[in-house]
C-alpha cells in the first residue's frame, strides 16, 4: 500500500480519504518483521537427561556402594542406555553422592546381608544319599 501511495502525487494524496495512513502501514510492517525474526527463548546448553535415567543412576549407586561412576556408566551401556561417564558423575554430584567407589567402608557382615539371597540361590548346600553320593 505504501508503494502504491508513492505513485500518487502529493496533491492527489491530500484529496484522498485514506482508511490507512502511512504511519499505520509502517507500524504493521514493524510488527510483522518483529514476529518473523523473534525466536522463542530457550535455555542455553543441552537439554536435561530424562528423570527416569537420573533415578536409575541414583538407584544403581545406592544399591551398589562399591561402584564408582565409571562402573555405573558401564552397566548403563550394558542396559542399552547411551549416557556419558561425566553425566553419571554430574548426576551423582548433584544428588550429594560421592562419585568415587569409596563411598562406604562396607564391612563383611554388611556384604553378606546384601548378598544373602544370591548366596543361598547358588546351592552351597549338599545332601549325601544312602550310598554316600551327592
Which of helix, strand or coil describes residue 85?
A: helix
Residue 10 domain-assigned (yes or no)? yes
Measured CA to CA, the distance from residue 86 to residue 92 in angstroms comes to 10
Q: Give residue 9's pLDDT.
A: 75
Instruction: Name which residue leads in pLDDT, 80 or 118.
Output: 80
Domain count, the chain: 2
Measured CA to CA, the distance from residue 62 to residue 85 in angstroms comes to 17
Residue 106 domain-assigned (yes or no)? no
In tens, the pLDDT along 3-45 reads 776 777 777 777 776 667 778 888 888 888 888 777 777 778 8
CA-CA distances (angstroms) from residue 124 to 113, 117, 134?
16, 12, 12
Residue 55 and residue 88 in one domain = yes
Residue 56 domain-assigned (yes or no)? yes
Residue 120 domain-assigned (yes or no)? no
Residue 90 and residue 55 in one domain = yes
Residue 85 and residue 55 in one domain = yes
Q: Give residue 102's pLDDT.
A: 63
Residue 58 domain-assigned (yes or no)? yes
- Residue 76 reports pLDDT greater than 90: yes
The residue segments making up the domain with residue 87 are 51-94
- Residue 84 reports pLDDT greater than 70: yes
- Residue 104 reports pLDDT greater than 60: no
Sign of CA dihedral 56, 117, 110, 69: negative
Residue 22 domain-assigned (yes or no)? yes
What is the residue whose three cell numbers read 527463548? Answer: 41
Residue 79 domain-assigned (yes or no)? yes
Contact 53, 77 (CB under 8 A): no
Residue 101 domain-assigned (yes or no)? no
Measured CA to CA, the distance from residue 86 to residue 65 in angstroms comes to 18
First to last CA, the chain: 101
- Predicted confidence band of residue 87 (pLDDT cuts 50, 70, 90): very high
Amino acid at each position: 500500500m505504501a508503494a502504491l501511495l508513492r505513485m500518487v502525487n502529493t496533491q492527489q494524496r491530500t484529496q484522498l480519504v485514506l482508511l490507512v495512513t502511512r504511519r499505520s502501514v509502517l507500524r504493521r510492517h514493524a510488527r510483522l518483521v518483529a514476529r518473523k525474526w523473534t525466536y522463542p527463548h530457550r535455555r542455553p546448553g543441552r537439554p536435561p537427561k530424562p528423570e527416569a535415567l537420573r533415578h536409575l543412576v541414583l538407584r544403581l549407586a545406592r544399591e551398589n556402594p562399591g561402584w564408582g561412576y565409571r562402573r555405573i556408566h558401564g552397566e548403563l551401556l550394558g542396559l542399552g542406555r547411551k549416557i556419558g561417564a561425566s553425566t553419571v558423575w554430574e548426576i551423582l554430584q548433584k544428588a550429594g553422592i560421592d562419585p568415587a567407589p569409596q563411598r562406604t567402608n562396607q564391612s563383611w557382615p554388611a556384604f553378606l546381608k546384601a548378598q544373602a539371597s544370591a548366596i543361598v540361590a547358588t546351592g552351597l548346600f549338599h545332601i549325601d544319599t544312602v550310598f554316600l553320593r551327592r
